[in-house]
Amino acid sequence: MIGVNFWERLQRLDRRVIFILIAAVVAIPLIWPPRPKLQISPPTQKVFDYIEKLPPGSVVALCFDYGPSSAPELDPMAYAILRQCLTKGVKVIVMTLDITGKQMKSHALNRVVAQLEQEGVKPVAGDDYLDLPYQPGYTAVVLGMGEDVHKVFPIGTAGGKTQPIGTWPLMDRVHTMRDLSLVVDLASSNTPTMWVLYGASRFGVKVAAGVTAVMVMDYYPFLQSKQLVGLLGGMKGAAEYEQLLKKPGLGMSGMGGQKWGHLVIIAFVVVGNIGYFASRRAARRAAGAAEVG
Partner 1 sequence: MAVAAVAAAWGQPAEAPGSLQVPRELVEAGFPVQLPPPPADLDPAAPAAVVALPDTEDDSGAGVKVFWFPPQQTPPGMKLGGYRLYRSTDGGLRWRALPQPEKYAADAACKIQVVGGHWPWKAYELRVAALYIPTGTPEKNWGLQDRRRPKRVEGEWVTAREVLSRVAGPYNTRPYAKWFDGKKTNLLVTAVLYCVAVLWFLRHARRGREMYLRPIPGIEAVDDAIGRATEMGKPILYVSGLDSIDSVSTIASMIVLGRVARRTAEYDTPLLVPCRDPLVMAAEREIVKEAHLAVGKPEAFDPETIFYVTDSQFGYVAAVDGMMMRERPAANFFMGYFYAESLILAETGAATGAIQIAGTDADTQIPFFVTACDYCLMGEELYAASAYLAREPILLAQLKAQDVGKVAIAAAIWLGTTAATLGVLGTLLMAAQKLTPATAWGGKLHWFSALMDKFLALFATQ
Partner 2 sequence: MRRTLPLTITFLAGLVMFAQFFVPHKLSQDALTYMTDWMRIIGAFALVLGIGSLIQRHTGRIRQRHPDAAFSAVALLCFLGMVVLGIGWKTEEGSPFDWGFTYVFMPLDATMFSVLAFFMASAAYRTFRARTPEATLLLVASLALMFGRIPLQRALDPHLAGVAEWIMTWPATAAKRGILLGVALGSMAMSLRLLLGIERSHLGTGKE
Would you say how long the chain is, in residues? 293
Q: Which does 238 bind (CB under 5 to 8 A by kind): partner 2, partner 1, none?
A: none
In sequence order, what are the residues at sequence separation of 6 or more whose Cβ sits closer than 8 angstroms to the Cβ of residue 277?
none
Q: Is 38 in the site for partner 2 (CB under 8 A)?
A: yes
Please state the φ and ψ torsions of residue 149, each to the nearest 5 degrees.
Answer: -65, -35
100, 106, 110, 115: which one binds partner 1 (CB under 8 A): 100
Site for partner 2 in 148-207 (CB under 8 A): none
User: Is 214 in contact with 69 (CB distance < 8 Å)?
Assistant: no
Q: Which does 176 bind (CB under 5 to 8 A by kind): partner 2, partner 1, none?
A: partner 1
Cβ 54 to partner 2 shortest distance, Å: 26
265 CB-contact burial (10 Å; exposed 0-12 / middle 13-18 / buried 19+)? middle
Partners of 232 in the β-ladder? 210
Cβ 123 to partner 2 shortest distance, Å: 17
Site for partner 2 in 100-119 (CB under 8 A): 102-103, 106-107, 110
Q: Is 18 in the site for partner 2 (CB under 8 A)?
A: yes
CB atoms within 10 A of CB 247: 16
> In which element (H, E) is residue 205 found?
none
Single-letter code of the amino acid located at 245: L
Cβ 62 to partner 2 shortest distance, Å: 17
By C-alpha distance, which of 188, 203, 218 is closest to 78?
A: 188
Cβ 29 to partner 1 shortest distance, Å: 23
CB closer to partner 2 out of 280 and 285: 280
- Alpha-carbon span 188 to 190, nearest angstrom: 7
User: Is 58 in contact with 181 (CB distance < 8 Å)?
Assistant: yes
Q: Is 273 in the site for partner 2 (CB under 8 A)?
A: yes
Q: Which does 22 bind (CB under 5 to 8 A by kind): partner 1, partner 2, none?
A: partner 2
**List of residues contacting partner 2 (CB under 8 A):** 13, 15, 18-19, 22-23, 26, 34, 36-39, 41-42, 67-72, 102-103, 106-107, 110, 136-137, 139-140, 143-144, 147, 213, 216-218, 220-221, 224, 236, 239, 255, 258-259, 261-266, 268-269, 272-273, 276-277
